[in-house]
């Protein structure tokens, strides 16, 4: 025991002065107790010394760090030094260093998070999800942070894109970090580039060996437009970008040619998949543009089977739209892994750059008078006029085509070529007024549409937001006029709410109307005609 204790406590100097009274007490005890008394007092001493030693060690480690040295003998510390191996000590020092480093890193991360939050607030960007990448400060960061190739930066410049739009600031880094993403941003706010840019950057260079990326759009016109935009952005790089035409869907064998990016409507892609001429198992990127439309019941089956056919486990999927109803969010959460949700402004809101107006026309006849009067007073082309069906598009066209204005029409009964011509002529300014059904209500980027007229009241909040969003794009101002008749009054409050939310003045009586659930409001309307009924 004595030996043990001397071994255990060797090196400890006993402070006789400090523990004088204890020594006196223990000296009175018989000799048998001497050993244990010594041990006890030595133990007390040790505990005292241990405390000192620990304090000493902490200070000396700090000192060492300050001085940059690693060994300094401290009195009374040697017992621990002796029983602690050099590697252990080194480990402790290293652990200390690491924890300081970690703290520094954490602090910097927190500062970055704070900066990101301020920046997002400034640009009205709202995110949710784990570890959301920092938003882009400018396009230069595409190069400095993500090694963007020069062809893409050059194309951006050529297109006149100086600053990223809010959705581009956030969605591009999210996708470049390989995260799935569902995003909602106002009409005309640059969502196309937000998904095409990271796609081109991730694909890096043209390659053979199957379809690598797919963009799905709900309408042919929008697919054609996205195809053109992709090609503009990819200029200078020989990517194989293909638009799924009716001919390709029916006849082509996609295994026979390279395809980096395929742009299609769900119907055409589904047809090609069914024919087994398209293999989607290698697709690395899948974009569902106008995703809420794609998830509507009439397209859901096709979309579902396409998503299943894109079976690559490392696929990155993204959903984009200006309207993101809850059912689409739910679907996105089911579908995606570790997705980031990006909302610019408020969900499902009309663009704030559009001046919106409601006009009561009483009857169908009243509408025709109102549109003629409006054109007579001030026709400021290009003007887009929306009606609720192809029959009504034909009727209105029949009325206006002889009115000495350059008017055209687009609907699903026209041939592909006729539809393309209508769009091209309108884009080129040859047509002043384009009468349309909802086939061109979503995504179409007609530059500088001055006014959208909802000749027929839209059938849903989403339809309203997308239709009027053909105007007031890319920061420009625009105008939207919505005609309403008695039949539409139950749904007026919904439009009034959208108007108020995007900053338009709304008469107070409108805000006092009752709200009614707006579900596919397409009442049977009287024929558009000034000819008297026979």
Ligand X SMILES: Nc1ncnc2c1ncn2[C@@H]1O[C@H](COP(=O)(O)OP(=O)(O)OP(=O)(O)O)[C@@H](O)[C@H]1O
Residues that bind ligand X (CB under 6 A): 161, 163-165, 168, 185, 187-193, 322, 443, 445, 469, 473-474
For residue 456, which of 529, 361, 341, 377 has the smallest C-alpha distance?
Answer: 361
Residue whose tokens read 């006890």: 40
Which residue, 351 or 361, is less far from ligand X as judged by CB?
Answer: 351
Q: Which residues, other chains included, contact 515 with Cβ-Cβ below 8 Å and sequence gap of 6+?
A: 493, 494, 497
Residue 288 Cβ, how far from ligand X at the closest point, in Å? 13
Which residue, 321 or 361, is less far from ligand X as judged by CB?
Answer: 321
Residue 130 Cβ, how far from ligand X at the closest point, in Å? 26
For residue 169, which of 133, 118, 202, 215 has the smallest C-alpha distance?
Answer: 133
Residue whose tokens read 């750059």: 353
d(C-alpha 357, C-alpha 453), whole Å: 10
* E strand map for 163-277: 181-184, 211-216, 241-243, 259-264
**C-beta of residue 304 within 8 angstroms of C-beta of residue 295:** no
Residue 270 Cβ, how far from ligand X at the closest point, in Å? 22
Residue 331 Cβ, how far from ligand X at the closest point, in Å? 19
Which residue, 199 or 396, is less far from ligand X as judged by CB?
Answer: 199
d(C-alpha 464, C-alpha 482), whole Å: 9
Which residue, 193 or 457, is less far from ligand X as judged by CB?
Answer: 193
Which residue, 72 or 158, is less far from ligand X as judged by CB?
Answer: 158
Which residue, 168 or 348, is less far from ligand X as judged by CB?
Answer: 168
d(C-alpha 445, C-alpha 485), whole Å: 29
d(C-alpha 286, C-alpha 268), whole Å: 16
Pairing of strands 340-344, 125-128: antiparallel
Which residue, 196 or 310, is less far from ligand X as judged by CB?
Answer: 196
Residue 160 Cβ, how far from ligand X at the closest point, in Å? 6
Q: What is the DSSP letter of 454?
A: E
Residue 447 Cβ, how far from ligand X at the closest point, in Å? 6
Q: Which residues, other chains included, contact 516 with Cβ-Cβ below 8 Å and sequence gap of 6+?
A: 490, 491, 493, 494
Residue 174 Cβ, how far from ligand X at the closest point, in Å? 16
H helices present in 336-440, as ranges: 364-377, 390-400, 416-428
d(C-alpha 347, C-alpha 328), whole Å: 12
263 φ/ψ angles, rounded to the nearest 5 degrees: -115, 130
Residue 471 Cβ, how far from ligand X at the closest point, in Å? 10
Residue 100 Cβ, how far from ligand X at the closest point, in Å? 42
d(C-alpha 25, C-alpha 426), whole Å: 109
Which residue, 192 or 355, is less far from ligand X as judged by CB?
Answer: 192
Which residue, 77 or 195, is less far from ligand X as judged by CB?
Answer: 195
Which residue, 239 or 320, is less far from ligand X as judged by CB?
Answer: 320
d(C-alpha 528, C-alpha 388), whole Å: 12
d(C-alpha 271, C-alpha 274), whole Å: 5
Residue 466 Cβ, how far from ligand X at the closest point, in Å? 7
Which residue, 440 or 499, is less far from ligand X as judged by CB?
Answer: 440
Residue 317 Cβ, how far from ligand X at the closest point, in Å? 18
Q: Which residues, other chains included, contact 47 with Cβ-Cβ below 8 Å and sequence gap of 6+?
A: none
**Strands across the sheet containing 478-485:** 354-362, 478-485, 451-454, 383-386, 433-436, 407-410
């Amino acid at each position: 025991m004595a030996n043990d204790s001397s071994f255990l406590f060797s090196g400890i100097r006993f402070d006789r002065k400090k523990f004088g009274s204890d020594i006196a007490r223990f000296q009175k005890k018989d000799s048998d107790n001497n050993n244990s008394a010594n041990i006890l007092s030595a133990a007390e001493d040790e505990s005292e010394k241990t405390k000192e030693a620990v304090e000493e060690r902490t200070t000396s480690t700090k000192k060492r760090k300050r001085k940059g040295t690693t060994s300094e003998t401290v009195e009374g510390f040697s017992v621990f030094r002796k029983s602690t191996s050099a590697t252990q000590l080194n480990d402790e020092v290293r652990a200390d260093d690491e924890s300081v480093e970690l703290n520094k890193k954490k602090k910097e991360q927190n500062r970055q998070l704070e900066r990101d939050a301020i920046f997002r607030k400034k640009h009205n960007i709202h995110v949710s999800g784990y570890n959301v990448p920092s938003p882009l400060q400018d396009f230069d960061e595409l190069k400095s942070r993500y090694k963007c190739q020069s062809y893409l930066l050059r194309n951006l410049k050529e297109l006149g894109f100086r600053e990223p739009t809010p959705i581009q600031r956030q969605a591009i880094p999210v996708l470049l970090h390989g995260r799935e993403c569902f995003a909602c941003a106002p009409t005309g706010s640059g969502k196309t580039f937000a998904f095409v840019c990271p796609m081109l950057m991730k694909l890096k260079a043209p390659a053979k060996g199957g379809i690598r990326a797919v963009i799905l759009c709900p309408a042919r016109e929008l697919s054609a437009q996205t195809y053109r935009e992709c090609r503009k952005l990819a200029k200078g790089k020989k990517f194989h970008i293909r638009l799924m035409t009716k001919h390709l869907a029916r006849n082509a064998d996609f295994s026979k040619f390279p395809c980096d990016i395929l742009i299609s409507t769900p119907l055409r892609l589904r047809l090609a998949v069914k024919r087994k001429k398209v293999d989607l198992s290698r697709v690395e990127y899948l974009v569902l543009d106008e995703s809420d439309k794609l998830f509507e019941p009439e397209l859901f089956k096709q979309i579902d089977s396409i998503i299943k056919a894109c079976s690559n486990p490392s696929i990155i999927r993204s959903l984009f739209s200006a309207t993101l109803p809850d059912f689409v969010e739910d679907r996105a959460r089911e579908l995606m892994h570790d997705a980031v949700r990006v909302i610019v402004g408020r969900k499902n809101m009309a663009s704030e750059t559009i001046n919106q107006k409601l006009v009561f026309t009483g009857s169908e006849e009243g509408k025709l008078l109102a549109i003629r009067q409006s054109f007579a007073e001030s026709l400021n082309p290009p003007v887009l006029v929306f009606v609720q069906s192809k029959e009504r598009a034909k009727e209105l066209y029949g009325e206006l085509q002889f009115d000495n204005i350059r008017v055209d029409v687009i609907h699903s009964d026209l041939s592909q070529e006729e539809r393309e011509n209508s769009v091209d002529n309108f884009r080129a300014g040859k047509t002043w007024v384009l009468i349309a059904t909802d086939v061109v209500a979503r995504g179409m980027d007609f530059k500088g549409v001055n006014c959208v007229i909802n000749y027929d009241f839209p059938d849903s909040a989403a339809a309203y937001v997308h239709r009027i969003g053909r105007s007031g794009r890319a920061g420009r101002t625009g105008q939207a006029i919505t005609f309403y008749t008695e039949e539409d009054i139950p749904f007026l409050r919904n439009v009034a709410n959208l108007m108020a939310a995007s900053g338009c003045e709304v008469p107070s009586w409108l805000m006092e109307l009752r709200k009614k659930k707006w579900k596919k409001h397409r009442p049977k309307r009287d024929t558009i005609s000034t000819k008297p009924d026979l």
